[in-house]
Amino acid sequence: MRQSELFTKTRRETPKDEVSKNAELLIRGGFIHKEMAGVYAYLPLGLRVLEKIKNIVREEMNKIGGEEIIMTTLQRKELWEVTDRWSDEKVDVWFKSSLKSGAEVGFGWSHEEPITEMMKNFIGSYKDLPVYVYQFQTKLRNELRAKSGIMRGREFVMKDMYSYTTDEESHKKFYDSVVEAYHRIFERVGLGEKTFLTYASGGAFTDFSHEFQTVLPTGEDTIYLSREKKVAINKEVLQGGVLEKLGLKKSDLEEVAASEVGNIFSFGGAKSEALGLFFKDESGKSLPVTLGSYGIGITRLMGVVVEALSDEKGIVWPESIAPFRVHILSLGEKLKAKAQEVYNKLNEVGIEALYDDRDISAGEKFNDADLLGLPVRVVVGEKHEGKLEVKNRKTGEEKLETVESLVHSLK
Ligand code: ATP
Ligand code: MG
């Protein structure tokens, strides 16, 4: 894409009302627009990142048998009353409204209830199980504080998956495959080394559920990490005394700030029992379906990547989720034809490039390139006898290349 055609512009100054680094950088780069605290729109560059993250997650969810759906935002009060999750005392993040008829509705903040209710139409026998469904859906939550940019939205995109299985054994097998898939996802978006499986309280079958926490100084959570064992526990578990069970010693754990990028939870048969989702086993006996719920904060993940990997000059996108892989900068009118040739060549071979063809100074182009954080910067300038200056945004490493050698090394 030509940068002159992007309607968004970069900004030098920090937005006044923004205290989080992720939103500051993303707003300055024109990736997102702030509508109000905790509510952000995704602009062309930001949307490309979001879609890339979603596609990685989608691939991994499909790999373990997930089927994609989209449930509704509007929720029926009556359904959530069945499981006692409608009242503000039980769930303090509901946004609620009412229909013209007077009926109360809520805006979905999670979807266990409606999906489980819907599954009554499709699940009746052990032959109908297992079922694994997931969605990318915009959740609405009336969060008390929204000061962490897109890491805590009042409106945010979540991937939520739900598993319906016959028993504990088949549930656990799937649960473990989700743990593996989540590790692959965090690895693929560039957070593998910083993200730890973390024991949290709650959940059926065991005394804990799991979170995936990315170590981050600006994270809202505190976790206790064993780098050696590559696991962590959260505060609830530290206080709850599950340590012994996990074979961890308090003295071996490091207290660090982190951000929860994923959460997985076993409901056992409780939720299905409450909502009336039963199946007949091989002997004809009626049993509640076992439910598991598996979330990833897609937009939070994007914010965490920005916070965790940026430097003093701007964002540093991992190649896997960068809006474009290459940033071509042409320095001066005379070099436009040459830059265009590089751009065309990369397009021809399917390498995504953003071409800065704007009539602004070289300095401004360099600053913007650092801020936008595309992995490879290619400068078409007058120096180096027509060779291209190719710089790695992350390492700062520079090389001279011809168009052919550039294409070759990028492929
Ligand atoms: P937190 O403890 O951070 O409030 P949670 O435990 O309420 O999150 P879940 O209901 O388990 O979150 O949601 C699944 C995932 O969605 C979380 O692991 C997190 O990555 C993401 N998430 C939750 N709340 C928000 C939010 N307000 N903004 C962005 N992402 C969120
Ligand atoms: Mg949580």
Rounded Cα distance between 327 and 313, Å, is 16
pLDDT value at 242 more than 80: no
**Which ligand has its closest atom nearest to the C-alpha of 293?**
1
pLDDT greater than 80 at residue 191: yes
More confident residue, 235 or 215: 215
Q: Give the Å distance between the CA of 156 and the centre of ligand 1.
A: 9
* Protein residue with its CA nearest to atom 23 in ligand 1: 297
Do the beta carbons of residue 290 and residue 175 sit within 8 Å? Answer: no
Q: Please name the CATH architecture into which domain 3-73+108-309 falls.
A: 2-Layer Sandwich (3.30)
Tell me the CA–centroid distance for residue 323 and ligand 2, in Å. Answer: 29
The predicted model gives 182-205 an average pLDDT of 96
Pocket flag, ligand 1, residue 295 (CB < 6 Å): yes
Residue corresponding to tokens 């499986």: 197
Read off the pTM: 0.97
- pLDDT tens digits, 328-382: 999 988 899 999 999 999 999 999 999 999 999 999 999 999 999 999 999 999 8
179's tokens: 């743990």
Mean of the per-residue pLDDT values for the chain? 96
Structure-block tokens of residue 409: 């090394």
Asked if residue 130 has a cis previous peptide bond (ω within 30° of 0), the answer is yes
Which residues neighbour ligand 2 (ion) by CB within 5 Å? 263
**pLDDT (mean) for 215-228:** 96
Which ligand approaches the C-alpha of residue 220 most closely? 1
Q: What is the 3-state secondary structure (H, E, C) of the chain?
A: CEHHHCCCCCCCCCCCCCCCHHHHHHHHCCCEEEEECCEEEECHHHHHHHHHHHHHHHHHHHHCCCEECCCCCEEEHHHHHHCCCCCCCCCCCCEEEECCCCCEEEECCCCHHHHHHHHCCCCCEHHHCCEEEEEEEEEECCCCCCCCHHHCCCEEEEEEEEEEECCHHHHHHHHHHHHHHHHHHHHHCCCHHHEEEEEEECCCCCCEEEEEEEECCCCCEEEEEECCCCEEEEHHHHHHCCHHHHCCCHHHCEEEEEEEEEEEEEEECHHHHHHCCEEECCCCCEEECEEEEEEEEHHHHHHHHHHHHCECCECCCCHHHCCCCEEEEECCHHHHHHHHHHHHHHHHCCCCEEEECCCCCHHHHHHHHHHHCCCEEEEECCCHHHCEEEEECCCCCEEEECHHHHHHHHC
The pLDDT confidence band at residue 243, using thresholds 50, 70 and 90, is confident
Indicate if ligand 1 lies below 6 Å from the C-beta of 224. Answer: no
Look at residue 290 and tell me whether its pLDDT is greater than 80: yes
pLDDT score for 135: 98
Please report, to the nearest 10 degrees, the dihedral formed by the alpha carbons of residues 109, 112, 113, 116 taken in order: 150
C-alpha 341 to ligand 1 mean position (Å): 45
Alpha carbon of 377 to ligand 1 centroid (Å): 35
Average pLDDT over residues 216-243: 90
Percent of residues, the chain, with pLDDT higher than 90: 90
Q: Is the CB of 156 under 6 A from ligand 1?
A: yes
Q: What is the pLDDT of residues 106-145, one digit of tens each?
A: 999 999 999 999 999 999 999 999 999 999 999 999 999 9
**Which of 93, 113, 158, 159 to probe ligand 1 with, by most ligand atoms within 8 A of CB?**
158
221 CA to middle of ligand 2, Å?
9
Q: Establish whether residue 203 lines the binding site of ligand 1, counting it when its CB lies within 6 angstroms of any ligand atom.
A: no
User: How much distance in Å is there from the Cα of 95 to the middle of ligand 2?
Assistant: 19
**Average pLDDT in the 269-280 region?**
97
- Best residue among 94, 260, 266, 301 to mutate for probing ligand 1's pocket (most ligand atoms within 8 Å of CB) is 260
CB 262 near ligand 1, within 6 Å: yes
Report the separation in Å between the CA atom of 233 and the middle of ligand 2, taken as the mean of its atom positions.
12
**pLDDT score, position 247:** 86
Residue 360 contacts residue 410 (beta carbons within 8 Å)? no
Is residue 21 scored above 80 in pLDDT?
A: yes
Q: Which ligand is nearest to the CA of 22?
A: 1
- Lowest model confidence (mean pLDDT) among 73-87, 208-222, 223-237: 223-237
Pairing of β 376-380 and β 326-330 = parallel
Q: Whose CA is nearest to atom 2 of ligand 1?
A: 260
Domain ranges of the chain: 3-73+108-309, 326-410
CA-closest residue to ligand 1 atom 28: 152
Using the mean position of ligand 2's atoms as its centre, give its distance from the Cα of residue 170 in Å.
Answer: 24
- Closest residue CA from atom 16 of ligand 1: 297
pLDDT value of residue 246: 84
Report how far ligand 1's centroid is from the alpha carbon of 59 (Å).
Answer: 22
188 lines ligand 1 (CB under 6 A): no
pLDDT of residue 133: 98
3.40.50.280, 3.40.50.720, 3.30.465.10, 3.40.50.800: CATH of 326-410:
3.40.50.800
Instruction: Tell me, in angstroms, the distance from the centre of ligand 2 to residue 385's CA.
Output: 56
- Name the pLDDT band for 248 (thresholds 50, 70, 90): confident
- What would the mean pLDDT of 86-97 be, rounded to a whole number? 97
Looking from the CA of residue 220, the nearest atom of ligand 1 is 3
> One-letter amino acid identity for 111?
H
Q: Say how far apart CA 216 and CA 239 lie, in whole Å.
A: 22
